[in-house]
A and B are shown apart, each in its own frame.
Chain A
Amino acid sequence: MSNQETVISSESLWPEDAAEDEAVITNWFVSEGSAVDRGTTLGEMQVEKVSVDIVANTQGEVDEIMIDEGGELSRGDPLARLMIE
Chain B
Amino acid sequence: MVVVGVTQIKEMYSNMVTARHYEERLREEYLEGKQPSFDISAGPIPGELHLAAGHEASGAGICQHLDNDDTVTAPHRPHHIAIAKDIDLKRMTAEIFGRKTGLSKGKGGHMHLYDPEVGFACSGIIAEGCPPAVGAGLAAKKRGSDNVAVAFIGEGAINQGAFLESLNFASVQNLPVVFVIEDNDWAISMPKGRVTDVSDGSERANGFDLPGYRVDKDDAIEIYQAASDAIGRARDRSGPSLLEVQVHRRMGHFMGDAEGYRPDDDIEQANARDSITRIENDLESQGVASDDIEQIRSKAQNRVEEAIEWAKSQPKPDPEEAYTDMFSNPEEGVTGGKNTDNVVRGDD
| Most chain A beta-carbon neighbours within 10 Å: one of B36, B37, B258, B260 | B37
**Interchain CB contact under 8 A, A49 and B36:** no
CB of B257 within 8 Å of the partner chain? yes
A46 is an interface residue with CB less than 8 A from chain B: yes
| CB-contacts of B3-50 with A (<8 A) | 35-38
Q: A58 CA to B311 CA in the complex, in Å?
A: 54
CA distance A60 to B73 in the complex (A): 59
CA–CA, A48 and B36, complex, Å: 7
Query: Of residues A20, A23, A49, A72, which shows the largest number of chain B Cβ atoms within 10 Å of its Cβ?
Result: A49
* A3-48 at interface with B (beta carbon < 8 Å): 20, 22-24, 26, 46, 48
Q: Does A50 contact B (CB under 8 A)?
A: yes
Q: Report Cα–Cα, A72/B258, bound state, in Å.
A: 20
Judge whether A24 and B257 touch: CB under 8 Å: no
**Min CB gap A74→B, angstroms:** 10
B135 at the interface (CB under 8 A from A): no
| Nearest CB in chain B: distance from A43 CB, A | 14
**Chain B hits for A72, CB < 8 A:** 36
* Chain A, interface SS category: strand
Cβ-defined partner of A23 (8 Å) among B37, B257, B258: B37
Q: What's the Cα separation between A48 and B39 when bound, in Å?
A: 10
Tell me which residues across on chain A come within 8 A of B35, comparing CB atoms. Answer: 22
Instruction: Tell me the smallest distance from the CB of B43 to a CB of chain A, in Å.
Output: 14
Chain A residues with CB below 8 A from B37, complex form: 23-24, 26, 46
Question: Does B258 lie within 8 Å of A22, measured CB to CB?
Answer: no
Shortest Cβ distance from B35 into chain A, in angstroms? Answer: 8
B211 contacts the other chain (Cβ, under 8 Å)? Answer: no
Q: Cα distance A49–B251 when bound, in Å? A: 13
Asked whether A23 lies within 8 Å of B256 as measured between CB atoms, the reply is: no
Q: Which residues does chain B contribute within 8 Å of A26, judged by CB atoms?
A: 37
Task: Give complex CA distance A24, B256 in Å.
Answer: 15
Alpha-carbon distance between A26 and B39 when the two chains are bound, in angstroms: 11
Residue in A closest to B35 when the chains form the complex, CB atoms: A22
Instruction: List the B side residues contacting A23 at CB < 8 Å.
Output: 36-37
C-alpha spacing A20/B36, complex, angstroms: 9
Report the minimum CB–CB distance from B265 to chain A (whole Å).
13
A15 to chain B: closest CB distance in Å? 9
Residue on B with the closest CB to A25? Answer: B37
CB-defined contacts of A22 to chain B, threshold 8 Å: 35-36
Contacts of A48 in B (CB 8 A): 38, 258
Per-residue contact bits, chain A 51-75, to B (CB 8 Å; 1 contact, 0 not):
0000000000000000000001000
**In the bound complex, CA of A49 to CA of B39 (Å):** 9
Closest chain A residue, CB of each to CB of B257: A49
Least CB distance, A71 to chain B, in whole angstroms: 11
Cα A3 to Cα B257 in complex, Å, equals 43
Name B38's closest neighbour in chain A (CB-CB). A49
Nearest to B34 among chain A residues (CB) is A49
Closest 4 CB pairs of A and B: A24-B37, A49-B258, A22-B36, A46-B37
Task: Contacts A24-B36, A24-B37, A26-B37 known; list 14 others, CB within 8 Å.
Answer: A20-B36, A22-B35, A22-B36, A23-B36, A23-B37, A46-B37, A46-B38, A48-B258, A49-B38, A49-B256, A49-B257, A50-B258, A50-B260, A72-B36
Return 19 A-B CB contacts under 8 Å, by A number.
A20-B36, A22-B35, A22-B36, A23-B36, A23-B37, A24-B36, A24-B37, A26-B37, A46-B37, A46-B38, A48-B38, A48-B258, A49-B38, A49-B256, A49-B257, A49-B258, A50-B258, A50-B260, A72-B36
